[in-house]
Amino acid sequence: MNTHPGHRARILAATTATAGLLLVAGCTSTDDGGSGSKTAAGGVEVVKAGKLTTCTHLPYPPFQSEIDGKVQGFDVALIDLVAKDLGVQQDILDTPFENFKTGAFLNSGECDLAAAGMTITEERKKNVDFSDPYFNATQAVLVDKKSGISSFAGLKGKKLGAQAQTTGEDYAKSKGLDPVSFESSDAVLNGLRTGQVQAVVIDYPVVQGWLKDKANADAFEVVDNLDTGEQYGFTVKKGNTKLRAAINKALEDAKADGTYKKLYEQWIGPYDESAASPAAS
């Protein structure tokens, strides 16, 4: 993800299909003194009364991005479920991505949690506590149907594209390939459309979003899905066990009652259980 030097953090209201319900829950909460309390349901402490403040970094569709002036996406919808359980309303703070590595905004009390399509790593675990993984970040091999390529192994000697500085590009290079680097996911797709490349390696959910467009689905197809071992997780300040437990419970409940599957299909695409429901690490 790119960072925006000098970009001031800004609060953005998170609005989804359930926002009205969340607003009611927030307004009617009378826990320990009503709307002025910083203790939400289950004894979870929040940094701002009546709110669950989420740090993110925009844009990263389909996990979070501004659509019609509102922050929406898969991450947003999942954290809305946590907020609903806590009887509060989610607020989103757009912040530089480097803060997620250090936990700075969590430690300073500006945010309760961070949600940004974040890969769980040992390095980051030194500074923050991760929720259970909620998404396997696999890489897809998308090819032009006329290319004759039928798998990742078939990419040798072909014109391959990838987004610069991404896991997909790193993976391709690690296997001895020399992909053309594109600066953005939009540029990657354009390269495929215009014949600059015959295939691309890029995040599976990004590809699923592209294939919702009939013209793309008619021209391109996924021929391989690469498990690079990455999983996404939400983060809380180190030692914030109550909020971490609340996030994990909301994820578990959503997977059990079908809500997770519904949101996955809404934001990402056809439900892939192996990608969507990673085991807790």
Domain that holds residue 163: 138-226
- Residue 123: what pLDDT? 85
Residue 3 lies in a domain: no
- Residue 183: what pLDDT? 83
* DSSP of 33-88: SGGG-SB-GGG-B-SSTTEEEEEE-S-BTTTBEEETTEEESHHHHHHHHHHHHHT-
| DSSP single-letter state for residue 163 | E
What's the rounded Cα separation, in Å, for the pair 144 and 153?
15
Task: Domain count for the chain, please give it.
Answer: 2
* Residues 24 and 118 placed together within one structural domain of the fold: yes
* Residues 110 and 187 placed together within one structural domain of the fold: no
Tokens representing 280 are 């807790």
* Residues 154 and 36 placed together within one structural domain of the fold: no
Here the CATH number for the domain that contains residue 249 is 3.40.190.10
Tokens representing 213 are 């467009």
* Residues 33 and 55 placed together within one structural domain of the fold: yes
Final residue before a domain boundary, out of 226, 241, 258: 226
Residue 199 lies in a domain: yes
From first to last of the 281 residues of the chain, give the pLDDT tens digit: 443 333 334 444 443 333 333 333 333 333 333 447 898 988 999 999 999 999 998 877 889 989 999 999 999 999 999 999 999 999 999 998 778 889 999 999 999 999 988 889 888 899 999 999 999 888 999 999 999 999 999 999 999 999 887 778 989 999 999 999 998 888 899 999 999 999 999 988 888 888 988 999 999 999 999 988 889 999 999 999 999 999 999 999 999 999 999 999 999 887 877 666 665 54
What's the rounded Cα separation, in Å, for the pair 141 and 155?
9
Q: Are strands 220-226 and 139-144 parallel, antiparallel or unpaired?
A: antiparallel
* Residues 130 and 236 placed together within one structural domain of the fold: yes
* Residues 54 and 103 placed together within one structural domain of the fold: yes
- Residue 279: what pLDDT? 57
Residue 191 has phi, psi (to 5 degrees) of -65, -35
* Residues 114 and 167 placed together within one structural domain of the fold: no
- Residue 167: what pLDDT? 79
* Residues 168 and 193 placed together within one structural domain of the fold: yes
Cβ–Cβ < 8 Å for 101, 58: no
What's the rounded Cα separation, in Å, for the pair 93 and 57?
8
Residue 65 lies in a domain: yes
* Residues 183 and 150 placed together within one structural domain of the fold: yes
Final residue before a domain boundary, out of 193, 209, 226: 226
> Distances from the Cα of 154 to the Cαs of 143, 149, 224, in angstroms?
11, 5, 10
Cα 124 from chain centroid (whole Å): 16
Residue 4 lies in a domain: no
Residue 33 lies in a domain: yes
Cα 114 from chain centroid (whole Å): 11
What's the rounded Cα separation, in Å, for the pair 243 and 247?
6
Residue 2 lies in a domain: no
Which candidate, 101, 85, 128, places its Cα nearest to that of 253? Answer: 85
* Residues 28 and 124 placed together within one structural domain of the fold: yes
Tokens representing 117 are 């399509």
Final residue before a domain boundary, out of 205, 226, 247: 226
Residue 261 lies in a domain: yes
- Residue 261: what pLDDT? 96
Residue 181 has phi, psi (to 5 degrees) of -90, 130
Is residue 59 reached through a cis peptide bond, with omega within 30 degrees of 0 on the bond before it? Answer: yes
What's the rounded Cα separation, in Å, for the pair 143 and 192?
8
Residue 5 lies in a domain: no
* Residues 48 and 131 placed together within one structural domain of the fold: yes
* Residues 21 and 96 placed together within one structural domain of the fold: yes
| Distance spanning both ends of the chain, measured CA to CA | 25
